[in-house]
Amino acid sequence: GDSVTQMEGPVTLSEEACLTINCTYTATGYPSLFWYVQYPGEGLQLLLKATKADDKGSNKGFEATYRKETTSFHLEKGSVQVSDSAVYFCALSVPGYSTLTFGKGTMLLVSP
């Protein structure tokens, strides 16, 4: 079945450090890929998405590129802030279905 694997956390960084959270997937068909963020006590917010190979999603300084050859969608940010501390989820959906398949989530902790 479809699945998403992302690196386990927590990832602990100092402010202004570079961030990479790895995400790989297994899916039938040609999935759309997403990154969601969850702040403490809140629901999920869509951070960025990509719907076809080589697409780059970007938002709030975060970027991820859909790599079909490596079935990956790694999340990157050049300079993290304390306010980026949250749990990040990689997810996919396959064509024709609205169901999201999520990874386990990666907690990011950014210290001043």
Partner 1 sequence: KAGVTQTPRYLIKTRGQQVTLSCSPISGHRSVSWYQQTPGQGLQFLFEYFSETQRNKGNFPGRFSGRQFSNSRSEMNVSTLELGDSALYLCASSLGTGGMNYGYTFGSGTRLTVV
CA angle 29, 106, 31 (to 5 degrees): 10
Contact segment (CB under 8 A) with partner 1 among 11-19, 39-47, 61-69, 76-84 equals 39-47
Q: Does 30 bind partner 1 (CB under 8 A)?
A: no
Count of alpha carbons within 13 angstroms of residue 29, beta-carbon side: 12
**Looking at residue 42, what DSSP letter applies?**
S
Cβ 42 to partner 1 shortest distance, Å = 5
Q: What are phi and psi of 82, to 5 degrees?
A: -55, -35
Q: Does 66 bind partner 1 (CB under 8 A)?
A: no
Question: Is the preceding peptide bond at 95 cis, omega within 30 degrees of 0?
Answer: no
Contact segment (CB under 8 A) with partner 1 among 13-21, 34-42, 55-63, 68-76 equals 34-42
Which residues of the chain form contacts with partner 1 (CB under 8 A)? 32, 34, 36, 41-46, 49, 51, 89, 93, 95-105
